[in-house]
Amino acid sequence: MAIPREPVNRGGTVLTIPGVVVGPALRLIRANRAFVSEAGARRRIRERTLRPVSYGPPGTLRSDVRVDVERVGDWPVYTVSPTRRPTIGGVVYAHGGGWVGEIAPQHWTLAATIAAETGAVVTLPIYPLVPYGTAAEAQTGVVELVRRSIERHGPTVLAGDSAGGQIALSAALRLRDEGVVLPMTTLLSPALDLTWSNPRIPLVQPSDPWLATPGGRVFAEHWRGDLDITDPTVSPLFGDLAGLGPLTVLSGTRDVLNPDAEVLVERAEAAGVMVDYHEGAGQFHVWALLPTRAGQAATQTIVHSVTRGLR
């Protein structure tokens, strides 16, 4: 998933664009070209392997945060810390990108907003991507970073968007199995079932200008590594959800991942998990990262979710 660049003025303030232009713009730039065919997905893997994209932060972020970086194991790991309010805990955020796309400027903007408006130190791992990275490696690395954040910053929540939502939920499941129940896991347009087999996906597909099944299956086949595609490390929707901490889930109705989000909510509630579900009518994949009024409102939903988890 490639996120369109957000418009920024010279002072670093994000400009808001009308929501009605998002769909046509995504179709115009062929945002779904890596997903609409298996060949497109293979081309994207080759492109990103030959020409890796920069993962560093933008030159300008809001002035009330500080960005640091260190190497943890084999990963570059960034932290975005608030500078004008006391620290109240931590967030480990797994960025999306279809398991092949690097962290984007919009992820940095969201991380800075979370840090500045909640007081949390946001940890951003630069995890290995397809064709080198796998679901098991990402899960293990994120689990270790959550434990590290708890030791350094206190109560810690997990969050992620799209492919990062898959990583976050699979890590939350493993942490629960290891005796760590998180106070909140916040998922924006999460990928949950990498079989792409939900019968409602074809019904949503015509309205989604971003994602599609053929390419998604190619990326998933690489990402699963040696695991079965239905292993909860790969497809957390197949996991036992009982005993998880609270979930906040955001999903737009013009997103082919929306049917699986609805299944997650149903299964989690049946398992006794507290779920705060926000379904964006007419909204696209990861719309909280888009510079629209609806996107800004969804960002605040994420901020409030993190705040509830840390207080």
Mean pLDDT of 155-182: 98
Q: Of residues 20 and 71, which shows the higher confidence score?
A: 71
Give the rounded distance of the alpha carbon of 288 from its chain centre: 11
Q: How far apart are CA 120 and CA 251, in angstroms?
A: 24
User: Per-residue confidence at 167, pLDDT binned at 50, 70, 90?
Assistant: very high
Tokens of 209: 């200008």
What is the pLDDT, as a whole number, of residue 281? Answer: 97
Mean pLDDT of 103-123: 98
What is the pLDDT, as a whole number, of residue 26? Answer: 83
What is the pLDDT, as a whole number, of residue 20? Answer: 83
User: Per-residue confidence at 13, pLDDT binned at 50, 70, 90?
Assistant: low
**Secondary structure (H, E, C), the chain:** CCCCCCCECCCCCECCCCHHHHHHHHHHCCCCCCCCCHHHHHHHHHHHHHCCCCCCCCCCCCCCEEEEEEEECCEEEEEEEECCCCCCEEEEEECCCCCCCCCCHHHHHHHHHHHHHHCEEEEEECCCCCCCCCHHHHHHHHHHHHHHHHHHHCCEEEEEECHHHHHHHHHHHHHHHCCCCCCCEEEECCCCCCCCCCCCHHHHHHHCCCCCHHHHHHHHHHHCCCCCCCCCCCCHHHCCCCCCCCEEEEEECCCCCHHHHHHHHHHHHHCCCCEEEEEECCCCCCHHHCCCHHHHHHHHHHHHHHHHHHC
Mean pLDDT of 76-89: 97
Catalytic residues: 162, 255, 285
pLDDT digits (tens, 9 = 90+) for 259-296: 999 999 999 999 999 999 999 999 999 999 999 999 99
Strands 120-125 and 156-161 turn out to be unpaired
CB atoms within 10 A of CB 173: 22
Q: Of residues 59 and 120, which shows the higher confidence score?
A: 120
pLDDT digits (tens, 9 = 90+) for 28-49: 888 889 999 999 999 999 999 9
What is the pLDDT, as a whole number, of residue 14? Answer: 55
User: Exposed/middle/buried for 150, CB within 10 Å: 0-12, 13-18, 19+?
Assistant: middle
pTM of the complete model: 0.94
Mean pLDDT of 139-151: 98
What is the pLDDT, as a whole number, of residue 134? Answer: 98
User: Per-residue confidence at 103, pLDDT binned at 50, 70, 90?
Assistant: very high
pLDDT at 145 over 50: yes
What is the pLDDT, as a whole number, of residue 256? Answer: 98
What is the pLDDT, as a whole number, of residue 8? Answer: 40
